[in-house]
Structure 1
Amino acid sequence: MVKDEMFLTYIRNMNESFSGWDFSYITNTGRVQNELMTWSYGSLLVPNLAKANTMLDMGTGGGELLSKLKPLPPKVFATEAYKPNVPIARNRLEPLGIQVYEIEEDNKLPFEKDFFDLVINRHEAYCRKEVKRVLRNKGVFITQQVGGTDCAQINDALGAPPYDEYAYWNLDYAVKELENHGFKIVLAKEEFPLQRFYDVGALVYYLKAVPWQVPNFEVETYISRLYEIHQHIQNKGYFDVRQHRFVIEARPM
């Protein structure tokens, strides 16, 4: 049993609740920092928002990002598949006139054909055929995705099984799939920015919020490895992993 009081304080500190898709508890306090990428998802959206009349935000989470985009098109809709996020998103977005739909399958969007000028998607699964169905002929699809090797060093450090179910998911694969479904690629970039954890409690908080990184993660199961990471941070000052991100802007042909 680990008796290091500093380590135990960090572990107890991770009990702060997580809701929606808001990591501000560890990011706004500087406990986790991310390396900058050569693109901004938000900046890519701005000129397209200005030209759109109808827009869909796929996988809105708790509506955190969508609620901050201004000015929005006249008609905006959002979908969310994770049930705990749905009431959070509705409470945040419906006062803004944005209707939130709870969905169960990516290939069954509750919208008519050729309905949207703009479909945006940040870190959410999507069905290429279904996105093309709901997009108008001159519409735009913009997505930022988490690649299949995201933060693999966490699993390595914990001695946990690699999360390799989506190891194939990268920019080349996604581009080819979109092209095969009748999209023209306007922009495509892929990068592996650094994510730096400054204390082990922030890492535990992250793993609780992102349960697919280490399925069935429990502190008790990985207590020894977590303590090793804590010691590494005490010696070096931080624990680094590599994120995997790619962004695509595509239009129906």
Structure 2
Amino acid sequence: MSGARTFEELVREAVEEPVDGWDFSWFEGRATEERPPWGYARSMAERLAGAAAALDVQTGGGEVLASAPVLPPLTVATEGWPPNVARATALLHPRGAVVVASPEDAPLPFAEAAFDLVTSRHPVRTYWSEIARVLRPGGTYFSQQVGPASAFELVEYFLGRQPEEIRDARDPRRARAEAEAAGLEVVDLQEARLRMEFLDIGAVVHFLRKVIWMVPGFTVERYESRLRSLHEQIRSRGPFVAHSTRFLVEARRPGMLPSR
């Protein structure tokens, strides 16, 4: 049981665990998070099965895209972090999908109207004008995104109260406005607030190493005092509870896809 293990043991184990890819199986028995009600991976797979050309933006290690039973004849994924590029390539190439190394803050390296479906799970940022550009008329963008003040109970435990402009930076209403400004029609927008529980300090450390934008510059050494206090809090009071926020957005470029 993790509760009987020392702070040093739990932290060492979390630090030694690789953080590439978006496989969260390491957290089993150590942290939990409610899942959104819309079932993103299943819904994405349904759309992929009917597409001719699809792009998955910021694919991570390719795990979500690879979970789809059927991929379109032309399937491309982009990723900016080199360890994830290698991981996604190994996972997706056997499925016939191409992985393109592309920085997250750069224009998409594709021609206009190249894809009838663009997907993205938890993009760091959505460049709506680029999404609109690479979609064919009638094409769809389908994405699950991190919402405002996600897991901020944990973020603010380390960083203190954050300004409102940071807490509200991922407001889905802003996403709608930016999508429409890029010429897209938002056909679905759903939100969810989901309970998270961290059962030991190792789960907290690994989470902050893996999701690096939560506490920028996080290291065990820098936050050792706060980590030790949180370790004692979890041991004496039980799991540390936070709440993630997610939203699902589906937007279409006006027009009609060519018949197939």
Normalised TM-score (structure 1): 0.91
The equivalent of 1:109 in structure 2 is 108
Q: What amino acid maps onto 1:100 in structure 2?
A: V
Is residue 248 from structure 1 mapped to residue 249 from structure 2 by the alignment? yes
Structure 1 distance, partners of 2:115, 2:200, is 43
Secondary structure at 1:218's aligned position in 2?
Answer: coil
Secondary structure at 2:103's aligned position in 1?
Answer: coil
Structure 1 distance, partners of 2:140, 2:99, is 20
Q: Superposition RMSD on alpha carbons, in Å?
A: 1.9
Q: Identity over aligned residues, as a percent? A: 37
Is residue 185 from structure 1 mapped to residue 217 from structure 2 by the alignment? no
Q: What amino acid maps onto 1:57 in structure 2?
A: D
Q: Deviations over 1:34-93 (max 9, x none)?
A: 113221111221331222110000011111111111111111000001122111111111
The equivalent of 2:152 in structure 1 is 152
Structure 1 distance, partners of 2:104, 2:194, is 30
| Residues 1:67 and 1:36: Cα distance change in structure 2 (over 3 Å) | closer
| Residues 1:43 and 1:105: Cα distance change in structure 2 (over 3 Å) | closer
Structure 2 distance, partners of 1:153, 1:66, is 30
Q: Deviations over 1:175-229 (max 9, x none)?
A: 1111121111111011221111000111001111122211111212222211221
The equivalent of 1:30 in structure 2 is 29
The equivalent of 2:257 in structure 1 is none
Worse-matched range after superposition: 57-66 or 10-19: 10-19
CA contact (8 A) 1:147 1:246 kept: yes
Structure 1 distance, partners of 2:182, 2:79, is 24
Structure 2 distance, partners of 1:19, 1:5, is 26
Structure 2 distance, partners of 1:31, 1:160, is 25
The equivalent of 2:138 in structure 1 is 138
Alignment of 1:1-150 (within 5 A): 6-14=6-14, 15-26=16-27, 29-124=28-123, 125-150=125-150
Q: What amino acid maps onto 2:113 in structure 1?
A: D
Q: How many residues align?
A: 248
Structure 1 distance, partners of 2:50, 2:238, is 46
Q: What amino acid maps onto 1:184 in structure 2?
A: E
5+ residue gaps, structure 1 = none
CA contact (8 A) 2:159 2:215 kept: no
CA contact (8 A) 1:148 1:166 kept: yes
The equivalent of 1:202 in structure 2 is 203
Worse-matched range after superposition: 51-60 or 13-22: 13-22
CA contact (8 A) 2:79 2:104 kept: no
Q: What amino acid maps onto 1:104 in structure 2?
A: P
Structure 1 distance, partners of 2:62, 2:218, is 26
Secondary structure at 1:65's aligned position in 2?
Answer: helix
Structure 1 distance, partners of 2:121, 2:213, is 17
Q: What amino acid maps onto 2:157 in structure 1?
A: A
Structure 2 distance, partners of 1:226, 1:180, is 43
Structure 2 distance, partners of 1:73, 1:85, is 22
| Residues 1:112 and 1:6: Cα distance change in structure 2 (over 3 Å) | same
Structure 1 distance, partners of 2:200, 2:213, is 21
Q: What amino acid maps onto 1:21 in structure 2?
A: W
Structure 1 distance, partners of 2:134, 2:231, is 48
CA contact (8 A) 1:53 1:73 kept: yes
Structure 2 distance, partners of 1:84, 1:43, is 26
Q: Give the deviation of 1:160 after TM superposition.
A: 5.1
5+ residue gaps, structure 2 = 255-260
